[in-house]
Structure 1
Amino acid sequence: MATATLERFTLGSRSTAARALLVLTIALLLVTLAVRPRLFVQNLIGGIAYGMVLALIALGLALILGLLGVVNFAHGGLFMLGAYGAYEVVALQALPFWAALVIVPVAVGLLGVAMEVSVLRRLYGENPIIGLLATFGIFVMIEEAARARWGGTPLTFGVPPVLRGSVPIGFGQIATLRLVTVLIASLIIVGTYLLMYRTDFGLTIRAGLQDREMAEFIGIDIPTRFTIVFFLGAAMAGLAGVLRGAEVGMDLTIGFEYVLLAFVIVIVGGVGSIFGSVVSGLLIGIGVFVGPTVVRALGTVTGIEALNVSGIGSVVPYIIMLVVLLVRPRGLFGEEGLLE
């Protein structure tokens, strides 16, 4: 009786805190929109584009983690290979950027398959820390291979002239490359949802997760299907690397940086939730771009100079994760009991 009362009190407290936080967030956004409308809209657009790339990375990680149960730290290395692979295709092999959008994700996906078949297939059902250590080792190997092939200095590659302009939207403009990134990421996300939840293939994958022995007994080739899922997750990481590399370039730090962000996004969205990864990616992407603008606008309104902090955008994802887990420990759309 006392335990049930305590649980109801805790849930009520979390619900109240969530509503208060939502009201405060809306109020801060309205203040920012009133003080710096043009900058707010520009950063909102940029945050959506960035969030779609993050969602694409996290979606691949969520498929592997949620469906296969492997904490795949090597996902960051696959993302990094996507960026460097695009540099290889466009800058060194002089092929069109459009070719890189196809060649590189497929190549990274095949590398992911090799990784899954040779190493990770032996770890399904084992302690997750074993998979984490194995994939961390693979990540280090990928990073050193990239250093040996492309060096340690930052690199960039050119994009077609059609992607170098901008498109006017409302108060501001969005770079054509960012707009294309949003469109491509949206198509991949919708396609992944339809594949996993509207096809027999997705049904058999979920059946294998619920009861692998029974699924194999009725003739479903579970290992092959899991390998296909791993290919899709790795290819998404490679595609995200191509798109991000085209916009900002690449160096050897991006693999570690983005795999940490991907894990944050998966945790915030809820482990195992495809929809949660997309929502969380957008939330964090917008937060990274809009958060500093909100803080500076608040500093302008209140006259507190200390609020004009540089570099605050880099800690926004972790602030969001902390707040979400305090209010909802299993993430925004996670299954009950998974993280609690």
Structure 2
Amino acid sequence: MLIVLTVAVHPRLFAQNLLGGVVYGLVLALIALGLALILGLLGVVNFAHGGLFMLGAYGAYEIIAMQGLPFWVAFLVVPLAVGAVGVAMEVGVLRRLYGENPLIGLLATFGVFIMIEEATRARWGGTPLTFDLPAVLQGSITFGVGRIATIRLLTIVVATLVIVGTYLLMYRTDFGLTIRAGLQDREMAGFIGIDIPTRFTIVFFLGSAMAGLAGVLRGAETGMDLAMGFEYVLLAFVIVIVGGVGSIFGSVVAGLLIGIGVFVAPVMVRALATATGIDALAVPGIGGIVPFLIMLAILLIRPRGLFGEEGLLE
């Protein structure tokens, strides 16, 4: 009913914010997907994931604004470089923590996150930054009652392809089967000849590269600052909790749910305030608390999340 009211009162604004929410949700899903792979498959609470996302954005700035190379070079190179940073972190810090209390991994990765943040500050400073996009990504395309920026369209296409590719890799290939086998019984998987450490490192690379790619896409649209790492990793954890630990599908659904909620909720309360004449209903900043309201509601109804498996990390 409230959605119908919003469409009737603010149709164009609702359409624009719905689209913005889908784009934002796909970026969140891309970050959360990498985090979910690492947490669900490796059992490590990787707080440094936010730092890798931030490195993606700042890495694109380095290549485009400081080195003068095309955006497409950054688009291809930065995720791979961030994935390599993730591999170094996995091999140098986290490999010995598999199977330990998740709190130990959380503390270790929090320390890595602080190191990444301070290294970013030392290299690029603490002020917000942006970089120029190629002409093909600076325009927009008309759709229905609104327009969509080309960079947003690129984000939708790329995020969708990555999400589908990740699902196919993990659930439709022998590689994904061996990863999940190693999670269930690492000793037995090793006994039958599966190189579990190498496969876990590959998963960490993929998850880190996803964070780097999300950073490039988000930095291209909104720019970057030092707060983005903490902000987005916090939202990524919320998405993993809402979707269910270890669920790829859950991370995507939760990311879209939260992304759309953040953008649409302010329009809905504004429409309600307009229709009723009660200005107090248009609560300022309500979009910022929507992710946590959704998480609270889901956990009260289904403590393991929408699609989580009971006892996965026990």
- With normalisation by structure 2, the TM-score equals 0.98
Correspondence 1:79 to 2:50? no
Local SS of the residue matching 1:332: coil
Whether the 8 Å contact between 2:40 and 2:313 is mirrored in structure 1 is: no
Check 1:160–1:310 CA distance in 2 against 1; reply closer, same or farther (3 A cut).
same
Q: Where do residues 311-322 of structure 1 align in structure 2 (5 Å cutoff)? A: 311-322=285-296
Deviates more, 1:324-333 or 1:228-237: 324-333
* Structure 1 match to 2:208: 234
Instruction: Please give the alpha-carbon distance, in whole angstroms, between the structure 1 residues aligned to 2:25 and 2:142.
Output: 20
Shift of 1:77: 0.2
Deviations 1:37-96 (A, max 9, x none): 111111101110111100000000000000000000000000000000000010001111
Q: Are the counterparts in 2 of residues 57 and 262 from structure 1 also a CA contact under 8 Å?
A: yes
Q: Within 5 A, what are the aligned runs for 1:211-250?
A: 211-250=185-224
2:40 aligned to which of 66, 72, 76: 66
Distance apart, 1:337 and its partner CA = 4.6
Equivalents in 2 of 1:334, 1:219: separation in Å?
29
Task: Indicate which of 1, 6, 25 corresponds to 1:51.
Answer: 25
Structure 1, unmatched stretches of 5+, are 1-26
Larger radius of gyration: 1
Q: Is the 8 A contact 2:54 2:229 kept in 1?
A: yes
Residue in 2 aligned with 1:152? 126
- What SS does the aligned partner of 1:153 have? coil
Q: Secondary structure at the match of 2:293?
A: helix
Q: Is the 8 A contact 2:127 2:225 kept in 1?
A: yes
Cα distance in 2 for partners of 1:338, 1:157 equals: 42
Instruction: Report the equivalent of 2:279.
Output: 305
Name the structure 2 match of 1:23: none
Give the Cα–Cα distance (whole angstroms) in 2 for the partners of residues 177 and 219 of structure 1: 45
* Deviation (angstroms), 1:108: 0.3
Checking the alignment, whether the CA contact within 8 Å between 2:44 and 2:106 is kept in structure 1 is yes
* Aligned partner of 1:96 among 70, 92, 106: 70
Which AA in structure 2 matches 1:205? I
2:140 corresponding residue in structure 1? 166
Structure 2: 5+ residue stretches without partners: none
| TM-superposed deviation, 1:157 | 0.2
**Is residue 2:164 matched to residue 1:198?**
no
Matches within 5 A, 1:258-337: 258-337=232-311
Distance verdict in 2 for CA 1:189–1:30, change over 3 Å: same
| Aligned counterpart, 1:36 | 10
Post-superposition shift, 1:336?
Answer: 2.9
Opposite residue 6 of structure 2, the aligned amino acid is T
Match among 152, 159, 166 for residue 185 of structure 1:
159
Q: Which amino acid aligns with 2:267?
A: T
Contact 2:43/2:313 (<8 A) preserved = no
Alpha-carbon distance between aligned partners in 2 of 1:210 and 1:337, rounded to the nearest angstrom: 12
SS in 2 for 1:250: coil
Matched, 1:138 2:112: yes
Per the TM alignment, residue 213 of structure 1 is displaced from its structure 2 partner at its CA by 1.0
The secondary structure found in structure 2 opposite 1:168 is strand
Q: Letter of the aligned partner of 2:271 in structure 1?
A: A
Q: For 1:243, what is the secondary structure of its paired residue? A: helix
Cα distance in 1, alignment partners of residues 284 and 62 from structure 2? 34
Matched, 1:257 2:225: no
1:123-181 superposed Cα distances (whole Å, 9 cap, x missing partner):
00111110000000000000000000000011000111111111111111111100000
- Are the aligned partners of 1:43 and 1:289 in contact in 2 as well (CA < 8 Å)? yes
How far off is 1:271 after superposition?
A: 0.6
CA distance in 1, matches of 2:272, 2:308: 33
Query: Contact 1:330–1:338 at 8 Å: present in 2 too?
Result: no
| Cα distance in structure 2, aligned partners of 1:158 and 1:311 | 29
Say if 2:23 and 2:155, in contact at 8 Å, map to a contact too: yes
Matches of 1:331 and 1:121 in 2, distance apart? 27
For the 8 Å contact 1:329–1:339, the answer to whether it is kept is no
